[in-house]
């Protein structure tokens, strides 16, 4: 009986982490504890802990007298919406959630299980980085995790929620994972904190301004989602997971869908009469996708492109769409990076891709050229070229220049390319084109403005339509906007069993 009691006592002790006072301090900061987060994340009663009695092995700085069961991280498995999921939840009440050798071993054990059983792994991160008292063994522990993160990339979904400070090594594991979610005003990510920044660069900056949720979601693009509190962040995570299969061998999740399809008349009125007037591409997306199924990713970053998940007749798809309402939907460095990463994620996990195209081209200028729009634009091009999932494009309006090729054109492997009657598929806009190819005639004309207008109209008449491309088969069908949803449902169904193999290679060399 004594032995049974000993076990029950140890279990209770392990659940307390760094103790009642530190738990209260965690709550005072508006943060939940490691266990509370797991409670809100996993299906009720499904969580099974692994490694509750693990302790660190450090004997320096009096650490042998400060041992806490579990060593600052709760690890285990359970289900989320009935699907097997692994989770580690760092406990800030134990040495600030810092990563010791044994803390790392627990996470690595979980990652190995997740890969072996083909299920997602979630990290709830709240850590002051490497356990300073342990020195290099802690650094080694981080590297062990990074290595596994990389090997697991593209095999199982890896998701990171940042729920407190994440300093130093604590940021690089999330950075390798597929998605980062941050909680506003209580989570931070930086390689070096404000104090180090001040010493090295003499900049005075707060944690929030250096690496808060708004910085990483809008400026750096490191974070894909933000939420005002931890509970909402966990809900976002669950929603995200609902679109994603368990591993790279599985088909996308589907929910039962038996609605009779009708024309979506609202789509007919979205494109403005004036081709230079903006409109919000989200209106097109939400009209085409299943009701309330669109889930935007990276919403505040590079807003000239919209990416996100949706369902079409119940099945997950990934959407990439130029956004005419922001910078006219131009492609630039950040939008190329954002879309390329999303395309590659979808391709890893068999999520079919749908592209809405309305793009005036690549953004010109020294800023873009000096910061490598060539390399970065090529990322998106490469990502589409390499994707073997079913791929469909709908050109709603402009498809100009190199951007026509890049945005999932037929030539780079798209399976079905539709265009609306408002599509303009050309090397460039009619005015610019006329001024170049008819330069001599325009220069000779008495009325220059009238000459430009006449030549512009001539060029536009020839190319500001989808029919020259359809003539060649670069567009499979010109469709009415209101027909789009029905056409897409049928085309994706037709493509369901698509098999496309890439040439045998070790791996490609994407322009990083």
Catalytic residue numbers read: 168-169, 402-403
Question: Using CA atoms, how far apart are residues 193 and 432, in angstroms rounded to an integer?
Answer: 49
Minimum CB separation from ligand HXC for residue 178, in Å? 20
For ligand HXC, the closer of residues 139 and 284 by Cβ is 139
As given in the structure block, the two tokens for residue 450 are 């009238």
Q: Which residues pair with 485 in a beta bridge?
A: none
For ligand HXC, the closer of residues 60 and 446 by Cβ is 60
As given in the structure block, the two tokens for residue 433 are 């084109």
Which H or E run contains 76? strand 73-80
Question: Using CA atoms, how far apart are residues 245 and 315, in angstroms rounded to an integer?
Answer: 11
Residue carrying the six token digits 């498809």: 399
Establish how many alpha carbons lie within 13 A of residue 435's alpha carbon, considering only the half-sphere containing its beta carbon: 7
Minimum CB separation from ligand HXC for residue 127, in Å? 7
Q: Calculate the CA dihedral of residues 207, 213, 219, 225 and round it to 10 degrees.
A: 160
Minimum CB separation from ligand HXC for residue 168, in Å? 2
Q: What is the 3-state secondary structure (H, E, C) of 349-407?
A: CCCCEEEEEEECCECCCHHHHHCCHHHHHHHHHHHHHHCCCCEEEEEEEEEEHHHHHHC
Q: Which of 402, 395, 385, 397 shows the shortest CA–CA distance to 418?
A: 395
For ligand HXC, the closer of residues 79 and 192 by Cβ is 192
Minimum CB separation from ligand HXC for residue 432, in Å? 48
Question: Using CA atoms, how far apart are residues 72 and 74, in angstroms rounded to an integer?
Answer: 7
Q: How many residues does the chain have?
A: 512
Within 212-272, residue ranges assigned H as helices are 213-214, 230-241
- The percent of the chain in helix, strand and coil, each rounded to the nearest 5, is 45, 20, 35
Minimum CB separation from ligand HXC for residue 262, in Å? 55
For ligand HXC, the closer of residues 17 and 129 by Cβ is 129
For ligand HXC, the closer of residues 135 and 364 by Cβ is 135
Minimum CB separation from ligand HXC for residue 144, in Å? 11
For ligand HXC, the closer of residues 20 and 372 by Cβ is 20
> Do residues 257 and 314 lie in contact, with contact meaning Cβ atoms separated by under 8 Å?
yes
Minimum CB separation from ligand HXC for residue 188, in Å? 7
* Bridge pairing between strands 48-50 and 73-80: antiparallel
For ligand HXC, the closer of residues 190 and 342 by Cβ is 190
Binding footprint of ligand HXC on the chain (CB under 6 A): 95-96, 98, 128-133, 139, 142, 165, 167-169, 172, 193
CB count within 10 Å of CB 230 equals 23
């Amino acid at each position: 009986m004594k032995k049974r009691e000993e076990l029950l006592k140890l279990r209770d002790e392990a659940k307390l982490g760094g103790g009642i006072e530190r738990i209260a301090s965690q709550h005072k900061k508006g943060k939940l504890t490691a266990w509370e987060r797991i409670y809100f994340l996993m299906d009720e009663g499904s969580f099974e802990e692994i490694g509750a009695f693990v302790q660190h092995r450090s004997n320096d700085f009096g650490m042998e007298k400060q041992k806490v069961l579990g060593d600052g991280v709760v690890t285990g498995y359970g289900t989320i919406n009935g699907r097997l999921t692994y989770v580690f939840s760092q406990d800030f009440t134990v040495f600030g959630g810092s990563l010791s050798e044994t803390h790392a071993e627990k996470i690595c054990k979980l990652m190995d299980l997740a890969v072996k059983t083909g299920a997602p792994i979630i990290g709830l991160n709240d850590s002051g980085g490497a356990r300073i008292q342990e020195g290099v063994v802690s650094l080694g522990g981080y590297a062990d995790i990074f290595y596994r993160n990389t090997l697991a990339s593209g095999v199982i979904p890896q998701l990171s929620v940042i729920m407190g400070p994440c300093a130093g090594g604590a940021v690089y594991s999330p950075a390798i994972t597929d998605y980062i979610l941050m909680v506003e005003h209580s989570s931070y990510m930086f390689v070096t904190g404000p104090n180090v920044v001040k010493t090295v660069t003499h900049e005075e900056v707060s944690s929030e301004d250096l690496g808060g949720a708004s910085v990483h979601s809008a400026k750096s693009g490191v974070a894909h989602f933000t939420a005002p509190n931890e509970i909402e962040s966990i809900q976002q995570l669950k929603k995200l997971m609902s679109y994603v299969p368990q591993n790279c061998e599985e088909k996308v999740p589907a929910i039962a869908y038996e609605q009779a399809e009708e024309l979506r008349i609202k789509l007919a009125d979205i494109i403005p009469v004036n081709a230079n007037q903006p409109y919000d591409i989200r209106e097109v997306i939400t009209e085409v996708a299943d009701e309330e199924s669109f889930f935007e990713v990276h919403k505040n970053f590079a807003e000239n492109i919209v990416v996100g998940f949706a369902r079409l007749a119940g099945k997950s798809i990934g959407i990439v769409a130029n956004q005419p309402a922001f910078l006219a939907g131009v492609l630039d460095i950040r939008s190329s990076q954002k879309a390329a990463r999303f395309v590659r994620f979808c391709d890893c996990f068999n999520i079919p891709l749908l592209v809405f195209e309305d793009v005036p081209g690549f953004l010109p200028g020294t800023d873009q050229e000096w910061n490598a729009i060539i390399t970065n634009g090529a990322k998106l091009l490469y990502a589409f070229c390499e994707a073997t999932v079913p791929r469909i494009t709908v050109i709603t309006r402009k498809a100009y220049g190199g951007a026509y090729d890049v945005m999932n054109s037929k030539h780079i492997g798209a399976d079905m390319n539709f265009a609306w009657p408002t599509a303009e598929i050309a090397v460039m806009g009619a005015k610019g084109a006329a001024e170049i190819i008819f330069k001599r005639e325009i220069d000779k004309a008495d009325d220059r403005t009238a000459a430009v207008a006449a030549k512009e109209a001539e060029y536009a008449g020839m190319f500001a339509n989808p029919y020259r491309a359809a003539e060649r088969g670069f567009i499979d069908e010109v469709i009415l906007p209101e027909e789009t949803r029905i056409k897409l449902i049928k085309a994706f169904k037709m493509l369901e069993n698509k098999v496309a193999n890439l040439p045998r290679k070790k791996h490609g060399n994407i322009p990083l």
